[in-house]
Structure 1
Amino acid sequence: MRKKVARLVTLALSVCALATGAAMAQPYPARPVRLIVPFPPAGATDVLGRAIAQKLSEGLGQPVLVENRPGAGSTIGSDQVAKAAPDGYTLLLASGSLAIAANLYGKLGFDVIKSFTPVSLVGHVPHMLVVNPSVPANSVKELIALAKSRPGQLSAASQGNGTLSHLELEMFKEAAGVDILHVPYKGSNNVMPDLLAGNVSVFFDSVPSSMPLVKNGKLKALGVVGAKRLPTSPDIPTLAEAGLPGFEVKNWFALLAPAGTPKEIVQVLNAQVQKAVAAPDLAERMASQGVVLEASTPVQLAALVKTDVAKWGKVVKDANVRMN
């Protein structure tokens, strides 16, 4: 009887081993993939995430399902991915906000650099410096001169303490050596009425949000916060060209996987992102949303994240930025 039981146990273990081996031998992906977007639906990150998910679904041959997990400067959704199994079935559409959050929140429960495996950049949204038309400055140099002549009197809006628009302002103040009053709001939609009314004078905003107002004369664009001029508005200089050498911010979006994700899976995902951003239909669609599609190698993305974490850490510390 004991020999019979032993044979049955051995047979069962053999079957399990064969099943496990067969499962492991299945090419990735063998089931649907989750893409966590750490922001609410309908925002820029969500729109990009769903567009990329569609292209990845086509390339991978499996559904890529978007799940919104907003909150705490993108850290809630990011934490979920950081703690997920490193098997390529849970991914994160991260943004530059994650590098900022690394310096604003004391206890994240994960490490922005060590808890993720970089896959690829996906794109970026250019920002620019805009002012109310009543501001007597038509260039960055004139704005700096004006601010120096009126220390503490010019006001600049932001989307809230610790947001990208706030830290861009702090970088500008430090680089230009000026004193400008920071007025935090709760989101860009709350900023615009006061900016257009002249209740605040200066704002660092995304190009898609402000450009229509610039074109109809309701705002003045003084400079682009990036390495290059905008192809659609080549007359607007970069801030570096306008008198602040080295002033550059990249509001990036990227695909990250949990730390420890196998290189083979990362290579598959990277190849599909490269293919997606090269698709003319997606590029055209995202351009209408103000997103510039851009892929990268995992190594390039890792370097960008590391550089941004260090850069924003210095800005946060020097400006003594605190959360609301």
Structure 2
Amino acid sequence: MPTLNKGGAGGNLGVDFVAKSAGDGYTIGLQTVSLAINPGLTPKMPYDTLKDLAPIGMIASSQHVLVTGANFPAKDLAELVKMAKAKPGSLSYGSAGPGSTFHMSAELLKAVAGISVLHIPYRGGGPALIDTISGQVDMSFPVLAAAVPHIQAGKLKALGVTGTKRSPLLPNVPTIAEAGVPKYSFETWFMLFAPASTPKPIIDKLNAGLRQVLESPAVKERMAKDGFEATPSTPAEARVRLEKELLMWAKLTKERGITAE
């Protein structure tokens, strides 16, 4: 299958390309949770997520992890929240840039925990992680695969993973909900989709092929090594999740005045 990487605008250009393609089953798209986040960040979207796209199915999900430098004074999330509430705006977190999953996972924590932490955007997750290790910023929310080697080397302190259950890569690290912010949950997911004009029989055939791949033990094992969990679904289940998260992120971005700039 030829792959066309159309980057730019947080993935919006690639999604728009798929949305405006023929619904013949030969042009399909893959996007992350940004598919649900971006409409809340961008006032004028080039497409309507629900009207112009037909979800084929979920592919996988992965977690981020809240980390601090090894010498950061808080030993756990409860202490970090206490510090943030005692001196609002005194702590900082680094992200991979405005609108990134690093950014939005942190903004969700700020909203749910009721804390004020300064956002320092970087040009990518790598520089943000490096400055977290050095203490230039107090914390960040990297993906598991990027953070685990530094955590194991003692360069970073893991205070909580963002999902609803602990990660096999960090079994001794609690979820953020376990660690004291019970209503918090964030996952980066991946979805396959087609133009809305694609006939249902084609969508169903593509979904069947996707589910067959995701049920493969070899595929599951390869994903797990990088902190991903295969999450096969029906097209209807994928649409329900997309609808739910579109509403959630639209509400959060509006309330907190978050944009892609």
- TM-score, structure 2 length as denominator? 0.96
Matched, 1:198 2:135: yes
Deviation for aligned residue 1:97: 1.0
Matched, 1:137 2:74: yes
Does the CA-based 8 Å contact 1:167-1:315 persist in structure 2?
A: no
Letter of the 1:243 counterpart: G
Q: Stretches of 4+ moved more than 3 A in 1?
A: none
Which residue is equivalent to 1:58?
A: none
What is the identity percentage for the equivalent residue pairs of Structure 1 and Structure 2?
A: 38
Residue correspondence of structure 1 range 173-188 to structure 2 within 5 A: 173-188=110-125
Which residue is equivalent to 1:126?
A: 63
Which residue is equivalent to 1:161?
A: 98
Which residue is equivalent to 2:222?
A: 285
* Distance of 1:203 and 1:192 partners within structure 2: 7
Instruction: Return the index of the structure with the highest Cα Rg.
Output: 1
Residue 109 of structure 2 is aligned with which of 172, 186, 190?
A: 172
Matched, 1:89 2:89: no
Q: Could you give the per-residue CA deviations for residues 6-44 of structure 1, whole angstroms, max 9, x where no partner exists?
A: xxxxxxxxxxxxxxxxxxxxxxxxxxxxxxxxxxxxxxx
Instruction: Give the secondary-structure state (helix, strand or coil) at the position aligned to 1:67.
Output: coil
* Distance of 2:165 and 2:226 partners within structure 1: 19
Letter of the 1:191 counterpart: A
Q: Could you give the per-residue CA deviations for residues 43-82 of structure 1, whole angstroms, max 9, x where no partner exists?
A: xxxxxxxxxxxxxxxxxxxxx2211111100000100000
Residue correspondence of structure 1 range 105-120 to structure 2 within 5 A: 105-120=42-57
Deviation for aligned residue 1:215: 0.8
Residue 6 of structure 2 is aligned with which of 69, 72, 75?
A: 69
Deviation for aligned residue 1:150: 2.5
* Distance of 1:164 and 1:174 partners within structure 2: 15
Which residue is equivalent to 1:26?
A: none
Which residue is equivalent to 2:162?
A: 225
Gaps of 5+ in 1: 1-63
Does the CA-based 8 Å contact 2:102-2:125 persist in structure 1?
A: no
Q: Could you give the per-residue CA deviations for residues 298-320 of structure 1, whole angstroms, max 9, x where no partner exists?
A: 11100111111111111211211
Does the CA-based 8 Å contact 2:42-2:259 persist in structure 1?
A: no
Residue 182 of structure 2 is aligned with which of 234, 245, 248?
A: 245
Letter of the 1:166 counterpart: H
* Distance of 1:116 and 1:320 partners within structure 2: 27
Gaps of 5+ in 2: none
Question: Relative contact order (alpha carbons < 8 A, sep ≥ 6): 1 or 2 greater?
Answer: 2
Letter of the 2:245 counterpart: D
RMSD of equivalent CA atoms: 1.2
- TM-score, structure 1 length as denominator? 0.78
* Distance of 2:187 and 2:109 partners within structure 1: 15
Instruction: Give the secondary-structure state (helix, strand or coil) at the position aligned to 2:145.
Output: helix
Letter of the 1:185 counterpart: Y
* Distance of 2:251 and 2:122 partners within structure 1: 23
